[in-house]
Structure 1
Amino acid sequence: MHWEVYNLSAGKSLPQWLAESKKKKQSLRSNEDFRKRIDLIQDFEFNVASSRVKVSPDGQYVLSTGIYAPELRIFDLKELGMKCSRGLDSEVVDLQLLSEDWKKLVMLLHDRTLEFHSQYGRHHRLRVPKCGRSITYDSESCTLFVGGSSQEVYRLDLEAGTFLTPIEMQRMSEVNEVVTHPRLPIVSCCGDGAVVESWDLRDQTSPLQTLKVDDASTSESIQVTRCAYSGNGMFFAAGTSEGIVRVYDLRSSRPLAQRDHMNDYAITSLCFHGCGPESSDLLVASSDKKSIKVWGATTGSMKASVESQSVVNDVSFYPNSGLMFVANDHQRIGLFFIPSIGLAPSWCSFLDNITEELEESKQKTVFEDFQFVTKDQLEQLGATELVGTKYLQPYMHGFFMDYRLHAKLKAALDPFAFEEYRKQKVKERLEAKRTMRTRIRNNKVDVNPSFHEQLQLTAEEGSGVGASKKRKEAADKAKRILQDQRFQALFADPDFTIEAPTSVNTCVVGVRESLIKSGVTTAFAPFAFAVAVYLDRWRADLLMGQASRNCPEYDAGVVNVTVRLRGSCPLRSSSREFERSTTACAENRHAGNDIHGVDDSGREYSSLSELWLLQGQQRDKFYKVNENWWVKGYEGRVSLEGTMIGDEASQEDVQHSQDFLRKALEGMLDDPCSALDCGAGIGRVTKAVLLPAVTGSVTLVDQSERWLQTAKKYLECEADRCHFIQCRLETYRPSSSFDVIWIQWTLQYLTDEDVVHLLQNLSAGLTSQGVIVLKENNMSQDSFSFHMDTPGKEGRFDMTRSPKHLHVLVELAGLRVTHMELWDECSCWVLRCVSEEVQELAPDGQDQGQ
C-alpha cells in the first residue's frame, strides 16, 4: 500500500508571483492559480536554498538555515509566520537546539566556527581544530560533541565552558555524523569503512561496540553517511554512501529491515517517526539528494515516496503528525503532508479539510506515450549510452522512454519477434474455432500448474472444521485468486509463466515440494524446510562455519556445499527467504545422515527428517498427553523426590552442577547478577546452584502453577530473591536480560522445533557476556541417536537425545558451543550467541526486555 503525499510547497514563491504579475501587467487578484495556492507558513523560504530544518522539542517553532546570504530563520507556528531572522558569517553545516524552545541553540558553520545563540542574539563563538560535519548534544552531561574530518570527536562541556578530552575513533579516519542515545549515556559515530562506533560516556578507554554496516569486500570504500536512534532507544538506523539504509535492533548486529534507494546516491538525512500516541508503528524517513522514502522500520515495506526536482539536504517530521519539512536547494522550504501517517497538527488543522478537497478534485497523470524500463532492461536493449540524455527520464528505480524508441530498440534486438507474435495469435484463433461440441471439464491447467495446485491445497486446508484463523484468511485469499476472472490468464496464457528456479535454488525448491508431497502440513512446512536445508549444511561441515571446530568428535563429511542465509535464523519466521548454492555433491554423501533413532513402539527412524515429520503432525497430541501426565501422574508427588521421578535428589548431581557452572563462568562474567531457571520445578537447582552463584535475583519459569507454589515454600526465606513465572515453555520469551540461563532435564519434553524456538527466545534474553547452561539426559546406547516415547508405556511424550542430535538443534538456534562434557549419562553444555551475528550496543546488565 502506497500512501498519498500532498506537496504543500509546490508552485511559485511570492516574489515570483509578483514578478510575473508585473511582467504581464495583470493583477494577481484575478489569477486563479494564485488564489488557489497554499501558503501554510508566511515567508517559509530563502533567497536561494535551505540547508537545515529543525522542529523545537515543544513543537511551537521551526528553525531553518539557508543561503544566500547565510541566514537563520525562526518561524512561530502559532502565528504561521516568521518570528525573526539572523544573518550569519558563513554557511551552516549543522544545527542543534539546546533547550525546549528556540532560545538556546548552537550552529556549526562551514569555517569551523561554533556559534551559540540565545534569545537576545549571538552569545559566544569559538572554533574547533578541524572542519566539522555534525554536532549533537547530551543534556544529561551538558556536553556538546563535534565530529568532522578527523578521527577525533571533540567534546565541549557547556556547563564549565571548557574543552574535554576528545574521543579518538579506532576504526575510522573521519566522522560523518554523531548521535546520542535518547535514554543511555551512549554516543555513536559513523564514518568511513562502513563502520559505526559506539562509546559509553562513563568509560571512554575503548569503544562499547563496533557495528559493521556493510560486510562486502569493497566496504572500505563505503561510508556510513547518516545514522539515527529511535525515540524509545531500541532501534538504530544507518545509511551508506551507496544509498542503502539498514535498521538494527540494539541487541543484534543483524539488520531487521533494509531499504535501497536505487539511485546510487549517498543518504543525506535519516530519522525515525512515530504514527502517533495511539499507534505502535515506527517509520523511517530516509533521503538522498533526489528522493525521500518513508518505510516501516521493522518490516521494510514502502509507505510513501517523494521525488524531488531539487537536491534534498535535510528532512524533519512534526511530532505525532503527517507533516514533513524538507530543506532543499530551492527557494521554498519543502512542506509535505501524508494523512495516512497522522492528522495535521493543531495549529494547521484545516489541512485535513484541504486534503479532502484535493482528493475529490485531483487528476491522475497517465504516461500514455512512455514506456518504463529498469536498468537491467536497458542493458538488454543495448541502450545504456542513452542514460543522461533527453531520451531517458529518470524515475524511481528506472527510466521513462518514448514508446516509439522502445519499439525500435526491441525490434532491432529481436527482428523476428513480431513474426512469432503474429503466428501465435493466428494459432490461438484457430484453436478457438476448433472447440468440441461437448466440453470436458478439466481441473488441470496448462500454465503454472504447481502454483495452481498450491492455491487449491491452501483453499482446502482453510475450509476444514477447526481450521485456525490464519488458515481461513489464507484460504479466502487463495479462493479469490482462483475465482477472480482477472487472474485466469495466469493459468492459461504462457506469457504469464512463472520462471522455473535457477540452478542456484533448484535443490531448495525440490526439498520444499517433496516435503509438501510427503504430507507436511502448511503450518509445519517452514520448519521442516529449514531443517532439510540444514542437513546439507551439516554434511558440508560448514554449519555456522564452526561445526567441526566446535565439536571435532563429530565427523561431518567432505561434501562441498555453500549456504547463505538472509535475515536471522531460518526458524524465526515462516516468511524468511533462503538461498542455497551447491557446487559439488559427489563424495561421502552418507556422512551427515547418521542421526537416527527409535521410539517405544519399536519403530525406527532413518533420519531426522522422518522424526520431524511425525512431531509436526502430532505435536498438539503430544503436549496434551504430557499436560495430563504432569497433573494426574504426579498427584501428591510435588516434592523433591517427585522432581527426580521417584528417586532421591542426588548430591552428586548438585555438586557436579556447581562445579560445571563455575567452569562456565570462568573468564566470562566477573559477578553474575541475574539467572533464569527454565523448567524450574520446585526450585531444586535454584536453591542449591543458582542462588549461591549470583549476587542478584533468580527467575523461575515452569508451566505448572502448583509446582511454583511448592517452590516458594521449598526456597523458604530465599524466595524473596526470586521471581516466579507460570507459562508454557515453548512460548516463553524473556522480558529482561540474564547473565546465566539454566536448563536441566526440560528439553526432553519438547519437540525438536520447540527446542529450537525456546533456545532462540532465551538467547534474546542474554546479556553481552551471558551463557546458557544445558544439562540433559544422554543416550546410553550407541546404536541409536535418539529414543522417543510417543507416548508409550510411561504415558508421556519424552525425547532422549544424543549429543550429536542436541548439537544440531543448538546450531539451528544460532548458538555456539563453548564447552561440552559427558557426566553420568548426561550431556552438559555451555552455549553462547554467535559473536559475529549477535552483538549488543547496550552495556552489560542493562534491561533489554521486549
Structure 2
Amino acid sequence: MQVTEFNDIKVYNLSAGKSLPQWLAESKRKKQSLRSNEDFRKRIDLIQDFEFNVASSRVKVSPDGQYVLSTGIYAPELRIFDLKELGMKCSRGLDSEVVDLQLLSEDWKKLVMLLHDRTLEFHSQYGRHHRLRVPKCGRSITYDSESCTLFVGGSSQEVYRLDLEAGTFLTPIEMQRMNEVNEVVTHPRLPIVSCCGDGAVVESWDLRDQTSPLQTLKVDEASTSENIQVTRCAYSGNGMFFAAGTSEGIVRVYDLRSSRPLAQRDHMNDYAITSLCFHGSGPESSDLLVASSDKKSIKVWGATTGSMKASVESQSVVNDVSFYPNSGLMFVANDHQRIGLFFIPSIGLAPSWCSFLDNITEELEESKQKTIFEDFQFVTKDQLEQLGATELVGTKYLQPYMHGFFMDYRLHAKLKAALDPFAFEEYRKQKVKERLEAKRTMRTRIRNNKVDVNPSFHEQLQLTAEEGSGVGASKKRKEAADKAKRILQDQRFQALFADPDFTIEDSGQHSKADGAPLLPKRKKKQEFSATLKPCEILQQGMRKLEKAPGDLRCSRHPWRIPICDMPTTAENELLRCSLRVSPFHDLQKEQKRLQDAFAFVFRPGQEMLADIHGVDDSGREYSSLSELWLLQGQQRDKFYKVNENWWVKGYEGRVSLEGTMIGDEASQEDVQHSQDFLRKALEGMLDDPSSALDCGAGIGRVTKAVLLPAVTGSVTLVDQSERWLQTAKKYLEREADRCHFIQCRLETYQPSSSFDIIWIQWTLQYLTDEDVVHLLHNLSAGLTSQGVIVLKENNMSQDSLSFHMDTPGKEGRFDMTRSPKHLHVLVELAGLRVTHMELWDECSCWVLRCLSEEVPELAPDGPDQGQ
C-alpha cells in the first residue's frame, strides 16, 4: 500500500507491492513465514489475479458496472473479472496482441477486439463467435448501437464500416485532411462519428449524410509543424463536450458549439497522450473531470476550469485509463504485471462492491506516506539548457512533472558543479556567514539605523525624509519626504535592506523607479582615525624591522633582531595582538619573550611573507601569514586544549593502529614508502645510524616498522598522551626494551641527547606556525654532525592555496594543512636547510639538515626539557 499526496489530495495505490505468487516465492526462498511479515499482512488485494504475466494493454468497465475486462500479454490473453466476486471469472487465449477492445452489450457477453494482425474477433458468452480481417492495420474501433455499425480506423485515409446486423462491409468514410486515423469515437446522443489523426485536425461526419464532413476542428492552430498529431479524442457522457489530446502532450476541451477551447492542460513532458476519458464526479457540469495520460503520468483535472484534481506518476508505461462510474476508483493498464488500481477519495466514494475502502481510509493514512520526488530537484526546460543536459530528456534520469522535470538532486549537484566549479564554495561561504549572523542575533546588540543591504540607498531615503520634514521645506521636498518615509516604514519593502537578493547594482546614478525624487547627498566632513587594524600594525612593524640597519641585529644570532630596537609605534600592538600578552603587562618584563618569539620571523634582506595565503573551515580568507599568526596567537591555548582532549580520548574512543592513521587503512603502503624514503635520506651520509627520535610517536607504528630496523641502538618515543605511550609498549612487544618513552608536549620538548635520525610524521599539523619553528630549532640542537630530520606532512589538494586550517568544532580538532611553500618558509626560519623533498600520495616528504656543521645554540630562556 502506497499513499502519495499532491496539493493535499491523497491517492491510494491499491496495486502497489508484490503479488501473492511473488510473496510465496520469496517466503520459500528466504525460508521465512509470511505470518510475521508486516508488509504482507497490510497488503490489499482488491481483485484476485488482477494481473498478467508481462503487461496489460487495455482495460474497460462494462456498462452495467458488474465486470472489468482487460487484455494483456504474454501470451496474448483476455481476462474478465467479476466485481461482485472480486475475482477473475474467465480468461481466453488469443492469437495476437489486442490493439483495441469494444463492448457490444451491457455486460461482457458480446464484445469485439481489434488484433495486431489486422483481425477483428467477435466473442460471445461461449467463446469466439467469428473473426475477419480488415484491409489495413487498425488502431481504433468504436460502435454505434443505433445503427449497429462498427467503425475501424487505422493506417489509411479510410474508416471502414461493418454492418453487424447484415454482416457486411459498408462504403468506407474517406478522410479529407488526414492520411492516417489514430482514434474513432461516436457521439453518445447523435449519429456523429469523429476521427482524429495526423495534421492536428479532427474530422466529424454525420452518419445520415456521408458526402462531406460536418466540420474540421484544427486542434493546434498556432503550430505550423506537420508532425503534430491528435492521438486521442473523446466525448463527454452528456455529449456537450469534446476533448482532444496531441502528440506534444497537450489536451484541449471544447464545447460543441464553439471551436475555441474551454480549458487546456499541458503534461509538460513532450510525450504523446495515450488515453483520454471523461468522468463525472457530480450532477453539475462543473463536476465533470477529464482523465488524460501519457506514458509516464496520469492527470485528472476539471473539464471546464482546467484546475488539477489529482496526479499520478507511474513507474511503468501507461497504456489505458478507465474510471469506474460515479466513484473515485481508477483502473490503469500499464507495462507491469499488475493492473494499476488507484483510489482517489476526493473525486468520489468507493463503489458499492468495495465500500470497505472508505472504512479503512483512516487506517491507510496511518501507514507511511511517500512524498512525491522527495529526493529530486525540479528544473524547467530553460534551466535544463543552462545545465547542458537537454540530451537527458526521455531518459530515466528525468521525470516529467508539470512544466518541467524532476532530476535526482545528486545529478543536479554534479551538473551545477561542472557548470560553475566555484559555486559551491560561494554557497558555503554565504551559509557560514548566515549562521554567524544568526548566532550574533542571540546577543544583546546596540540598535542603530545601519542596514546590511543597499546602505547608500537607505541613507539617501533617510536624508530625503529629514530634508522634507524641516520647517520651511518646499512642497516638492515634502512630497519626496512623504514617499521616502512610506518606503522606509512599509513592511513590503523591508527586504530591500535585509535580503541580499534585492541588492541594487551601482550604475553611477540611483534609480528613480520608486517615484521619490531623491535629493543630492550632503558632503560630510572627512573623518580620520589613527587606529589601524592589528594585522596592518603587525605588517607595518615587520616592514620596518626588515629595513632595520645591520648594527641593530644581534651578533650572537645574525638572523635575530633585538625587540628593544623595534619601532616604538608598533611595539605595544605587536605585544598585545600577536603574542597573547595582556595590554596591562609591563613591556620590560615581556621583552625577552617577545625577542625569542620574533627571533625566527625575519632574516636579513628577505621578505618571508610574500604570496602565502589560505582559508579556514569557516570560509575565512587569510591574505598573508601575519593574519594567520595573529589568530593562532590569540587562540593557541584553546586549540591545544581541544587537541589534547581529542587525543586522550582516542579515535572513536579507541587507542589503536586505526586511531593513529585517523581511520585510514593504507598503513602498510605508508610504511613501505617510509622505509624507502629513509633509505634514500641516509644514502651516502650515514651507514649505520645508532639512535633515532620519534616525535608524536602514538602507539609506535613508525618506530616498530621503520626506525627500529634502521638503527643499531635505541629509539626514543615522545608523545603527550600517557595512554598512547602505554599502548605503544604493548604494541612494540619485545622491541620495547630498545626504546625510551617520554611523555611531553612537543612544543616544550628539548632533546637531552643527540640522534642520527629525528622522525616527524603527521605531527606539525597540530602545532601553530610559531611552535613549529621553535620545535624544529630545538630539535636541530639534538642532531649529530651527520644527522637528519625527516618530515612527512599532509599536502594541500588545492594548488591555489598555501594552507588550510581546521578550527575546533563539536567533534573536530585544530589542524593545519600546509603547502610545501608554506612549510619551506618555516624550515628556513628554524635555521634548517632542505636536502631532499618529494611528493607521495597526498603527503610532502622532507629531509632536513642544519645550515652548517656547527649546531646552533638554543635560546637561554627556552622551554625546559620534557620529563
- Which TM-score applies when normalising by structure 1? 0.50
Describe the shift of the 1:580–1:105 C-alpha distance in structure 2 as closer, same or farther (beyond 3 A).
farther
- Aligned counterparts of 2:166 and 2:137: Cα–Cα separation in 1: 23
- 1:381 deviates by 2.4
Aligned to 2:610: 593
- Which has the larger displacement, 255-264 or 811-820? 811-820
**Match status 1:617 vs 2:634:** yes
- Post-superposition Cα deviations, 1:734-789, rounded to whole Å, max 9, x if no partner, equal 99999999999999999999999999999999999999999999999999999999
Identical positions, percent: 94
- 1:623 deviates by 88
- Post-superposition Cα deviations, 1:357-409, rounded to whole Å, max 9, x if no partner, equal 11133334486765333332222123445667786666665455554554454
- Post-superposition Cα deviations, 1:486-543, rounded to whole Å, max 9, x if no partner, equal 99869953537999xx999999xxxxxx9999999xxxx99xxxxxxxxxxx99xxxx
Instruction: Please tell me whether the aligned partners of residues 323 and 331 of structure 2 are also in contact (alpha carbons under 8 angstroms).
Output: yes
Describe the shift of the 1:468–1:99 C-alpha distance in structure 2 as closer, same or farther (beyond 3 A).
farther
Describe the shift of the 1:145–1:15 C-alpha distance in structure 2 as closer, same or farther (beyond 3 A).
same
Describe the shift of the 1:364–1:714 C-alpha distance in structure 2 as closer, same or farther (beyond 3 A).
closer
Structure 1 residue corresponding to 2:40, chosen from 26, 34, 39: 34
Instruction: Please tell me whether the aligned partners of residues 272 and 284 of structure 1 are also in contact (alpha carbons under 8 angstroms).
Output: yes
- 1:28 deviates by 2.6
Instruction: Please tell me whether the aligned partners of residues 600 and 792 of structure 1 are also in contact (alpha carbons under 8 angstroms).
Output: no
**Match status 1:504 vs 2:526:** no
- Which has the larger displacement, 119-128 or 617-626? 617-626
- Aligned counterparts of 2:111 and 2:753: Cα–Cα separation in 1: 38
Describe the shift of the 1:103–1:16 C-alpha distance in structure 2 as closer, same or farther (beyond 3 A).
same
Describe the shift of the 1:32–1:160 C-alpha distance in structure 2 as closer, same or farther (beyond 3 A).
same
Q: Where do 1:275-674 residues align within 5 Å?
A: 275-277=281-283, 280-365=286-371, 370-384=376-390, 398-401=404-407, 403=409, 406-407=412-413, 409-414=415-420, 493=499, 495=501
- Residue aligned with 1:741, SS: strand
Describe the shift of the 1:407–1:621 C-alpha distance in structure 2 as closer, same or farther (beyond 3 A).
closer
Describe the shift of the 1:760–1:422 C-alpha distance in structure 2 as closer, same or farther (beyond 3 A).
closer
Instruction: Please tell me whether the aligned partners of residues 276 and 321 of structure 1 are also in contact (alpha carbons under 8 angstroms).
Output: no
Instruction: Please tell me whether the aligned partners of residues 432 and 619 of structure 2 are also in contact (alpha carbons under 8 angstroms).
Output: no
- Which has the larger displacement, 147-156 or 766-775? 766-775
Describe the shift of the 1:767–1:599 C-alpha distance in structure 2 as closer, same or farther (beyond 3 A).
same
- Residue aligned with 2:71, SS: strand
- 1:793 deviates by 88
- Post-superposition Cα deviations, 1:691-726, rounded to whole Å, max 9, x if no partner, equal 999999999999999999999999999999999999
Instruction: Please tell me whether the aligned partners of residues 323 and 336 of structure 1 are also in contact (alpha carbons under 8 angstroms).
Output: yes
Describe the shift of the 1:638–1:391 C-alpha distance in structure 2 as closer, same or farther (beyond 3 A).
closer
Describe the shift of the 1:91–1:494 C-alpha distance in structure 2 as closer, same or farther (beyond 3 A).
same
Instruction: Please tell me whether the aligned partners of residues 253 and 840 of structure 1 are also in contact (alpha carbons under 8 angstroms).
Output: no
- Which has the larger displacement, 47-56 or 749-758? 749-758
Instruction: Please tell me whether the aligned partners of residues 567 and 576 of structure 1 are also in contact (alpha carbons under 8 angstroms).
Output: no
Instruction: Please tell me whether the aligned partners of residues 72 and 88 of structure 1 are also in contact (alpha carbons under 8 angstroms).
Output: yes
- Aligned counterparts of 2:394 and 2:610: Cα–Cα separation in 1: 57
Describe the shift of the 1:493–1:214 C-alpha distance in structure 2 as closer, same or farther (beyond 3 A).
same
- 1:437 deviates by 17
- 1:89 deviates by 1.6
- Aligned counterparts of 1:614 and 1:497: Cα–Cα separation in 2: 32
- Residue aligned with 2:837, SS: strand
- Aligned counterparts of 2:76 and 2:656: Cα–Cα separation in 1: 79
Higher relative contact order (CA 8 A, sep 6+): 1
- 1:225 deviates by 0.8
Instruction: Point out where structure 1 has 5 or more consecutive residues left out of the alignment.
Output: 508-513, 527-537, 540-564
- Which has the larger displacement, 458-467 or 92-101? 458-467
Instruction: Point out where structure 2 has 5 or more consecutive residues left out of the alignment.
Output: 1-9, 506-529, 543-547, 550-558, 561-578, 600-604
Describe the shift of the 1:464–1:811 C-alpha distance in structure 2 as closer, same or farther (beyond 3 A).
farther
Instruction: Please tell me whether the aligned partners of residues 177 and 199 of structure 2 are also in contact (alpha carbons under 8 angstroms).
Output: yes
Instruction: Please tell me whether the aligned partners of residues 737 and 845 of structure 1 are also in contact (alpha carbons under 8 angstroms).
Output: no
- Which has the larger displacement, 783-792 or 435-444? 783-792
Instruction: Please tell me whether the aligned partners of residues 224 and 239 of structure 1 are also in contact (alpha carbons under 8 angstroms).
Output: yes
Describe the shift of the 1:573–1:299 C-alpha distance in structure 2 as closer, same or farther (beyond 3 A).
farther
- 1:253 deviates by 1.6
- Post-superposition Cα deviations, 1:344-367, rounded to whole Å, max 9, x if no partner, equal 000000011222211133334486
- Post-superposition Cα deviations, 1:663-692, rounded to whole Å, max 9, x if no partner, equal 999999999999999999999999999999
- 1:190 deviates by 0.4
Describe the shift of the 1:602–1:410 C-alpha distance in structure 2 as closer, same or farther (beyond 3 A).
closer
Instruction: Please tell me whether the aligned partners of residues 580 and 633 of structure 2 are also in contact (alpha carbons under 8 angstroms).
Output: no
Instruction: Please tell me whether the aligned partners of residues 429 and 618 of structure 2 are also in contact (alpha carbons under 8 angstroms).
Output: no
Describe the shift of the 1:62–1:716 C-alpha distance in structure 2 as closer, same or farther (beyond 3 A).
farther
Describe the shift of the 1:612–1:206 C-alpha distance in structure 2 as closer, same or farther (beyond 3 A).
farther
- Which has the larger displacement, 35-44 or 260-269? 260-269
Instruction: Please tell me whether the aligned partners of residues 393 and 401 of structure 1 are also in contact (alpha carbons under 8 angstroms).
Output: yes
- Post-superposition Cα deviations, 1:421-465, rounded to whole Å, max 9, x if no partner, equal 688789999999999999999999999999999999999999999
- 1:420 deviates by 6.6
- Residue aligned with 2:760, SS: strand
Describe the shift of the 1:260–1:493 C-alpha distance in structure 2 as closer, same or farther (beyond 3 A).
same
Instruction: Please tell me whether the aligned partners of residues 310 and 329 of structure 1 are also in contact (alpha carbons under 8 angstroms).
Output: yes
Instruction: Please tell me whether the aligned partners of residues 641 and 649 of structure 1 are also in contact (alpha carbons under 8 angstroms).
Output: no
Aligned to 1:202: 208
- Which has the larger displacement, 589-598 or 164-173? 589-598
Describe the shift of the 1:468–1:250 C-alpha distance in structure 2 as closer, same or farther (beyond 3 A).
farther
- Aligned counterparts of 1:489 and 1:670: Cα–Cα separation in 2: 74
- Residue aligned with 2:704, SS: helix
Describe the shift of the 1:494–1:333 C-alpha distance in structure 2 as closer, same or farther (beyond 3 A).
same
- Which has the larger displacement, 122-131 or 711-720? 711-720
- 1:27 deviates by 2.9
- 1:236 deviates by 0.8
Describe the shift of the 1:212–1:82 C-alpha distance in structure 2 as closer, same or farther (beyond 3 A).
same
- Aligned counterparts of 1:616 and 1:21: Cα–Cα separation in 2: 66
- Aligned counterparts of 1:73 and 1:179: Cα–Cα separation in 2: 24
- Aligned counterparts of 1:251 and 1:839: Cα–Cα separation in 2: 105
- Aligned counterparts of 1:503 and 1:691: Cα–Cα separation in 2: 57
- Which TM-score applies when normalising by structure 2? 0.49
- Residue aligned with 1:196, SS: strand
- Post-superposition Cα deviations, 1:43-75, rounded to whole Å, max 9, x if no partner, equal 111111111100011111111111111111111
- Residue aligned with 2:785, SS: strand
Instruction: Please tell me whether the aligned partners of residues 277 and 320 of structure 1 are also in contact (alpha carbons under 8 angstroms).
Output: no
- Residue aligned with 2:588, SS: coil
- Post-superposition Cα deviations, 1:612-669, rounded to whole Å, max 9, x if no partner, equal 9999999999999999999999999999999999999999999999999999999999
- 1:249 deviates by 1.4
Instruction: Please tell me whether the aligned partners of residues 140 and 183 of structure 2 are also in contact (alpha carbons under 8 angstroms).
Output: yes
- 1:331 deviates by 1.1
- Aligned counterparts of 1:184 and 1:836: Cα–Cα separation in 2: 113
- Aligned counterparts of 2:753 and 2:422: Cα–Cα separation in 1: 67
Describe the shift of the 1:24–1:126 C-alpha distance in structure 2 as closer, same or farther (beyond 3 A).
same
Aligned to 2:21: 15
- 1:179 deviates by 0.2
- Aligned counterparts of 1:23 and 1:456: Cα–Cα separation in 2: 78
Structure 2 residue corresponding to 1:63, chosen from 54, 69, 73: 69
Instruction: Please tell me whether the aligned partners of residues 756 and 812 of structure 1 are also in contact (alpha carbons under 8 angstroms).
Output: yes
- 1:837 deviates by 102
Instruction: Please tell me whether the aligned partners of residues 286 and 303 of structure 2 are also in contact (alpha carbons under 8 angstroms).
Output: no
- Residue aligned with 2:196, SS: strand
Instruction: Please tell me whether the aligned partners of residues 737 and 848 of structure 1 are also in contact (alpha carbons under 8 angstroms).
Output: no
- Aligned counterparts of 2:494 and 2:346: Cα–Cα separation in 1: 33
- Aligned counterparts of 2:465 and 2:742: Cα–Cα separation in 1: 39
- Residue aligned with 2:484, SS: helix
- Which has the larger displacement, 483-492 or 319-328? 483-492
Describe the shift of the 1:297–1:47 C-alpha distance in structure 2 as closer, same or farther (beyond 3 A).
same
Describe the shift of the 1:408–1:651 C-alpha distance in structure 2 as closer, same or farther (beyond 3 A).
closer
- Aligned counterparts of 1:665 and 1:141: Cα–Cα separation in 2: 106
User: Over alpha carbons, which structure has the higher Rg?
Assistant: 2
- 1:127 deviates by 1.4
Instruction: Please tell me whether the aligned partners of residues 176 and 191 of structure 1 are also in contact (alpha carbons under 8 angstroms).
Output: yes
- Aligned counterparts of 1:17 and 1:324: Cα–Cα separation in 2: 25
